[in-house]
Amino acid sequence: MIAAIVLAAGRGTRFAAGPKMLAEFDGRPLVRHVAETALASRARPVLAVLGHEADAVLAALAGLDLILVENPDYRAGLSTSLRAGFAALPPGAEGALVCLGDMPRISARLLDALGAAWLAAGRPTALVPTCGGRRGNPVLLARALAPAIATLDGDTGAGPLLRGRSDVVEHETGDSAILADIDTADALARLQASTTPSSTAP
């Protein structure tokens, strides 16, 4: 079983136009886009890690079949959300697709392709999507990484754990969505201007 973890706890300090997770893209909050896409994929269960503006983010996710995970340490950075998400994985989950809550162009088809590639590769420690040779997100992390993830700190994801490992598989997707995260309001405006409604469907 492959789960999905939506990281939606961060403060988004570079996003000056209010809470980033609640910013609208194509008429819906960024975080809802990502959660709905994860739910449209084969990944189960789908966990959402909440922290900054948790009540408002929870309202934006209303009605979705998610496992909600609270990260009280979100101010300490991304690593704390990754730790919280992995700690909450159910026993049957062999790995997890780690989805950033500010990547609304990711599709369910892509998530399923990453899951299939991970299984075909023999369940490596991690499978990292690439586009034109550039690494992006979401990454698929094996449950075997859980002890190492539990030691992470600061504002970093799994990158430091994966660097230099021979058991990390890269999967070329040809999909620029894996590179399109939203850090600023200007970046959101540019992405909105360059995206057609049909291309944002799960």
Residue found under tokens 């079949």: 65
pLDDT tens digits, one per residue of 81-140: 999 999 999 999 999 999 999 999 999 999 999 999 999 999 999 999 999 999 999 999
Instruction: Report domain extents, the chain.
Output: 2-200
Q: What residue ranges of the chain have pLDDT lower than 70?
A: 12-18, 195-202
Identify the CATH homologous superfamily for domain 2-200: Spore Coat Polysaccharide Biosynthesis Protein SpsA; Chain A (3.90.550.10)
| pLDDT at residue number 157 | 86
